[in-house]
Amino acid sequence: MDGASGSVLVIPYYHVPGRKYTIWIHLYAISMYSSNPKMGQRAVAKATKEFFGLKTYSHTTLGRALKSLAASIDADGERGGFEDGGRQGGEVKAGPEPEAGSGQPDEKKRKFPSVDDTAGNRAKAAAFLGGLYRAGDKGDIRKAAREIVKRWYDKHRRLLL
């Protein structure tokens, strides 16, 4: 570095800064929620907690992770993920826009998003992650998540979530 000193921060691929759970847990939950339109966030959080043997995993954690993934996809126009090997596959089709409230601007902010409210983000995540949650056992899910995160970082030079 030409005599200059500096610091380097190394973040393992599986660690999500500021979050308690590893990347594969978040991607598993997002994939399950996005692939099952009739399944709510609470049910997915419970299934994720049971599958990974966690003491806790909250539906609000899932909601924040989904919102973060959708924002990353939007920012970079990413379309392909798990099922198409990371190629720029089919176009992501967003779900319907949420309907306007009853004229009170804070009404939507106060309630937890419903399955219908998250339709657009779920569609983006489903197109990106495909059937990740059906990849097999925990080891297979870790490997698949590692590939998704690695391809994302190699392409965009930033973290996925």
Q: 69 or 93, which is more confident? A: 69
Is the pLDDT at 91 greater than 50? The verdict is no
CA 108, CA 85: separation in Å to the nearest integer?
37
Query: Closest Cα partner for 132 from 8, 17, 26, 43?
Result: 26
* Percent of the chain whose pLDDT exceeds 70: 76
Span 99-118, pLDDT tens digits: 444 444 455 455 677 777 88
Q: 38 or 53, which is more confident? A: 53
Instruction: Work out the pLDDT band at 139, boundaries 50, 70, 90.
Output: very high
Structure confidence at residue 25 (pLDDT): 95
Span 24-34, pLDDT tens digits: 999 999 999 99
Sorted by where each begins, the domain ranges of the chain are: 23-96+115-156
Residue with tokens 């500021």: 18
Structure confidence at residue 83 (pLDDT): 42
Is the pLDDT at 71 greater than 60? The verdict is yes
SS3 assignment for the chain: CCCCCCCCCCCCCCCCCCCCCCHHHHHHHHHHHHHCCCCCHHHHHHHHHHHHCCCCCCHHHHHHHHHHHHHHHHHHCCCCCCCCCCCCCCCCCCCCCCCCCCCCCCHHHHCCCCCCCCHHHHHHHHHHHCCHHHCCCHHHHHHHHHHHHHHHHHHHCCCCC
Q: Which of 7-11, 66-70, 153-157 has the lowest mean pLDDT?
A: 7-11
Is the pLDDT at 50 greater than 80? The verdict is yes
Q: 53 or 80, which is more confident? A: 53
